[in-house]
């Protein structure tokens, strides 16, 4: 797992070296740059050694005659099978790496090679003979890749900071993306918060002509909506295939030349991963978090995790989370380069740092909820065809009746009911947006006042994906696909990558093996979510691996007590960082509406925790990247003096 970067149009060695150094946290073991004067191209690479730890795995890497080069971030799990199929008369291998397999596979298959890769990856291939540069991202978007075309240059990197380090791009806000952020709590791809910087979408490759200096193709090479096949109806056969594919995926993802372990919660997803790992390893290392604070007992899964650890005799590690400084969440903006509001990233960072002390690679259960109906919102989706015809008058009356009840900040069920009633709409995308996400168009208008920062409704981002789905899919799989296209890569995989790579930990995700994903969309949603509960087919398929008590345990989630924090530990930051004179001077937010959100939250009238956190994290990003007045350290008593010093 590594960091990659490159620039076309500038071969100043100091530029590519600066870009590469900005990604050192992603690859602390080694680094390399290559400059190609003929096409004014420079490639950079930072290496986290996992497969073939020898210097032979160093990148950027070339084929035998130096006509094709690659800078690669990721792991290819089927590289041995692919290598066996290559023509031995055409290739000479200098290493045991998957990187070299990609090079030679491209030589034989061209762009068709990309769809054959089973793994997590973002890569750049320079083909000097064809005078082309290819940027490629994996099927589900596990590994990120950003790029911009500016002033006749193409600049790209695993993180936006590499592009900024080139000094060839002047930061400028994309206000439509800022508008969308306040609905989703993340910036929806392919745009970013920076105008002109884009994220390569999952399962896409970009082809760049080095002669004309322009992109000639941006093409999708895989889409489960087209490749998944027809829905099945034989539950026994589907279950057997699920078992076979998950077993193979876990086994392939356990290949490593460095220590390996697994994130373990009390949930079914990680339980299955650990159980399958135990079949291929004498001693699996597992890592889980404990919550001792009173307001975190709802999220604590130590008993469930311990049952799994006992069942498989794992080498179990437990981390008691210290949540005394929640302002650390604001400091982690350094690794995202964009505003990001899902606070699970904080716990993932703490767990990744702790896990990295023992292993270099960890397997995660990410993707299980999206593929097998694990989220509570899918219950509402099942009833969507009926709910949209509930009279608006009745919904408003019910919503009004609930206004007298106070929100329980540790239990968001009342919040979900309110969202359900407020979101009833004949347009499925708009309805789902109100159910699942945060500030709607009406509330954003109040937050930004007369400044209309976004000209387009955020629902458009969901509508475009829904329009592509096969007609034979049921509503459950349609909205599961919507999450796989948006919520999964832009939210869950975003924080998983950034927070694990902040500590040079490689995170692997067996549920997102493309074969498993294709199968998941052939399983009728009624086999996933029904009266027996959520993830029914997953629980039944792997019942022998799951402790009986865990099968009955309710879903708890993995999050921080943001509701209570926003009334206590975090609330003061609005007075320190967002006083009235500052807010009015910057001219982005309506100060009075922020105060209204705070007051509603303090009184328990409405849980506005995530909306308020979005404002805090956006302002933190804005100070760091736009006005460059970010305080040295949050939580200091001399905060205002530090901010003033930063301005000077």
Catalytic choice (2, 160, 187, 249): 2
User: Distance (Å, rounded) from C-alpha 623 to C-alpha 643?
Assistant: 10
Q: How many CB atoms lie within 10 A of CB 232?
A: 14
**HSE-CB for 166 with a 13 A CA cutoff:** 30
DSSP letter, residue 217: E
**Active site annotation includes 2:** yes
Distance between CA atoms of residues 91 and 622, nearest Å? 50
Residue 648 CA from chain centroid, whole number: 36
Q: Say which residue the tokens 């620039």 belong to.
A: 7
Q: What is the CA 541 to chain-centroid distance, rounded?
A: 27
Please give the Cα distance from 317 to 350 (Å, whole number). 13
Is 43 within 8 Å of 69 (Cβ atoms)?
Answer: yes
Residues 6+ apart with CB under 8 A from 118: 76, 77, 78, 252, 513, 514, 515
> 180-192: string of b/e by CB count within 10 Å (b at 16+)?
bbbbbbbbbbebb
Alpha carbons 81 and 84: distance in angstroms, whole number = 5
Q: What are phi and psi of 6, to 5 degrees?
A: -175, 165
Residue with tokens 């999050």: 559
Give the Å distances, CA to CA, from 544 to 262, 445, 510. Answer: 19, 52, 19
Q: φ and ψ at 229, to 5 degrees?
A: 85, 175
Rounded distance, CA 432 to CA 419, Å? 10
Annotated catalytic residues are 2
């Amino acid at each position: 797992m590594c960091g990659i970067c490159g620039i076309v149009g500038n071969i100043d060695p100091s530029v590519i070296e600066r870009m590469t150094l900005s990604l050192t946290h992603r690859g602390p073991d080694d680094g390399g740059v290559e400059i190609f004067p003929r096409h004014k191209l420079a490639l950079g690479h930072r290496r986290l050694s996992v497969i073939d730890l020898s210097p032979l795995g160093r990148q950027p890497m070339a084929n035998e005659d130096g006509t094709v080069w690659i800078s690669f971030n990721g792991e290819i799990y089927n590289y041995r099978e692919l290598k066996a199929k290559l023509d031995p008369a055409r290739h000479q291998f200098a290493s045991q790496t998957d990187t070299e397999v990609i090079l030679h596979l491209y030589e034989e298959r061209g762009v068709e090679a990309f769809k054959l890769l089973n793994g997590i990856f973002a890569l750049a291939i320079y083909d000097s003979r064809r005078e082309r540069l290819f940027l490629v991202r994996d099927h589900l978007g596990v590994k990120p890749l950003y790029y911009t075309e500016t002033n006749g240059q193409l600049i790209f990197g695993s993180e936006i900071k590499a592009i900024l380090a080139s000094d060839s791009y002047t930061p400028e806000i994309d206000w439509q993306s800022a508008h969308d952020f306040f609905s989703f709590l993340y910036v929806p791809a392919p745009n970013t918060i920076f105008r002109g910087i884009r994220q390569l979408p999952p399962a896409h490759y970009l082809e760049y002509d080095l002669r004309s200096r322009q992109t000639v193709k941006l093409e999708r090479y895989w889409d489960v909506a087209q490749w998944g096949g027809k829905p099945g109806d034989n539950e026994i056969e589907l279950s057997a295939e699920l078992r076979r594919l998950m077993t193979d995926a876990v086994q392939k993802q356990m290949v490593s030349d460095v220590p390996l372990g697994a994130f373990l919660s009390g949930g079914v997803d990680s339980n299955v991963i650990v159980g399958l790992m135990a079949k291929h390893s004498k001693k699996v290392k597992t890592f889980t978090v404990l919550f001792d604070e009173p307001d975190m007992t709802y999220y604590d899964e130590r008993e469930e995790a311990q049952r799994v650890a006992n069942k498989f005799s794992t080498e179990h590690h437990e981390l008691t989370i210290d949540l005394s400084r929640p302002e650390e969440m604001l400091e982690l903006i350094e690794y995202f380069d964009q505003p990001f509001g899902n606070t699970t990233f904080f716990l993932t960072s703490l767990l990744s740092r702790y896990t990295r002390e023992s292993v270099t690679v960890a397997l995660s259960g990410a993707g299980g909820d999206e593929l097998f109906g694990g989220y509570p919102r899918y219950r509402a989706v099942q009833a969507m065809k009926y709910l949209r015809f509930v009279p608006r008058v009745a919904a408003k009356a019910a919503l009004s009746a609930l206004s007298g009840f106070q929100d329980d900040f540790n239990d968001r069920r009342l919040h979900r009911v309110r969202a359900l009633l407020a979101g009833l709409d004949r347009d499925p995308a708009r309805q789902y947006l109100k159910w699942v996400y945060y500030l709607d168009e009406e509330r954003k208008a109040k937050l930004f006042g007369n400044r209309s920062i976004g000209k387009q409704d955020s629902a458009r981002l969901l509508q475009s994906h829904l329009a592509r789905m096969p007609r034979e899919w049921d509503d459950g799989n349609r909205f599961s696909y919507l999450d796989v296209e948006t919520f999964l890569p832009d939210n869950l995989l975003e924080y998983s990558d950034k927070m694990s790579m902040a500590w040079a930990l490689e995170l692997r995700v067996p549920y997102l093996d493309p074969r498993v994903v294709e199968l998941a969309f052939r399983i009728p949603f009624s086999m996933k979510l029904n009266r027996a509960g959520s993830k029914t087919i997953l629980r039944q398929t792997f019942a022998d691996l799951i402790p009986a008590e865990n099968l009955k345990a309710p879903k708890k989630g993995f999050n921080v007590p943001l509701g209570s924090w926003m009334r206590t530990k975090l609330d003061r930051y609005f007075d320190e960082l967002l006083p009235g004179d500052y807010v009015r001077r910057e001219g982005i937010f309506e100060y009075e509406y922020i105060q209204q959100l705070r007051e509603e939250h303090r009184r328990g009238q409405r849980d506005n925790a995530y909306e308020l956190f979005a404002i805090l994290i956006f302002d933190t990003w804005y100070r760091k990247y736009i006005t460059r007045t970010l305080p040295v350290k949050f939580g200091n008593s001399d905060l205002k003096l530090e901010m003033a010093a930063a301005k000077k």
